[in-house]
Amino acid sequence: MQGSNNKTILSGLTSDEMRPILSNYPSFRSSQIYKWIISGIDSFEGMNNLPLPLRRELAEKCTLNPGKVTSTQRDTDGTVKLAISMDDGAVIEAVIIRDGKDRITACLSTQAGCPAGCVFCKTGMIGYKRNLTASEIASQFLLLKKNEKGISHIVIMGMGEPLLNLDELRKAINFFTDKKGLNISKRRITVSTYGIAKGILDLANNGPDIRLALSLTTANDELRQRLIPASRENPLPRVKEALLYYQKKAKRRITLEMVLLKGINTGASDAKAVREFAQGMDTVINLIPWNPVEGIEFEGVPLCAPTQKEITDYALALENEGLKVTLRLKKGRGISGACGQLGSTSTSKLES
């Protein structure tokens, strides 16, 4: 694709996709450049196995990463958050999460801002600017990779609603999973959605065959539509029908993500509603105690994180309903890099 300076952006392209762009050169040059890009290099000058004239031509006509890292924050728990500024002024955030010794996850964004408007999410507060390109999605991974070489998993759970940018996301996933390059297994890539039935069906029919997570939060549809305003167009019965179809096609367990809000969605009746929604599906419930964001309210009352007792009681209630439950670790809170906190780098609301 072309950047704002009319230079061709190479990040996010496989060596095969790069070949037509470099048709004046032997095909092996595309493979060389591709290997340099996935290694995390940030300039053509450093590609020392390319002839100097080619490096100069590439610098004149092409660019590597479309964004520039404007800040790097590190939490004491090992979490790293990058703020990446695009040419048009859009600022996005991407995060590295360390979960034990062997699992290092890149959390990537698909939009600048988010149109879903979830009332418990910082990104929802800043509004929506635009979709990101495949190059912008891929470059987040490459920029994170410079901070951590051993990234093993990818979660598309950063800023934005992935299924509203599915075409570009597909291209980025193709880059991540290319066997000649990063070769990340699709089983290690998870896409999280608030529940767009049309997009879920599209994934089921056209791939990619990744893991799917639904940001459920509550199975009380009336409450959910107040907490996630965009979900009004996709009521839960329609979402469940799409999930059942996806599971039949993909043969994969679906994660139901529950952001726990003190006194709002953690009662016994909430647990029963989740069981009813999950009935007939192979699911795991991932509990996410709300990560505090200053100034967020729900219907005039400040949101609060649940107490430890509230979390424990709700997890037990879900287990008593026959559901499998996991608890999300509190990672990245110290740098506003945890679930629901992305967007803190932006100082004002985005304009569409």
Strand partners, 111: 131
Q: Would you say 345 and 93 are in contact if contact means Cβ atoms under 8 Å apart?
A: yes
Asked about 310 being catalytic, the answer comes back as no
The CB density around residue 233, as the number of other CB atoms within 10 Å, is 12
Q: Are 83 and 341 in contact (CB under 8 A)?
A: no
In angstroms, how far is the first alpha carbon of the chain from the final one? 22
Q: Which residues are paired to 192 by β-bridges?
A: 213
From the list 45, 62, 93, 304, the catalytic residue is: 93
- Which of 62, 114, 121, 339 is catalytic? The answer is 339
Displacement of CA 151 from its chain's centroid (Å): 15
DSSP annotation string for 278-324: HTTS-EEEEEEEPPP-TT-EETTEE--PPPHHHHHHHHHHHHHTT--
Rounded to 5 degrees, φ, ψ at 100 are: 85, -170
Q: Note the helical H segments in 73-214.
A: 122-126, 134-145, 166-177, 197-206
CA-CA distances (angstroms) from residue 199 to 179, 184, 293? 26, 23, 29
339 is catalytic: yes
Provide the token pair at 47. Answer: 């590609």
Q: Which residues are catalytic?
A: 93, 339
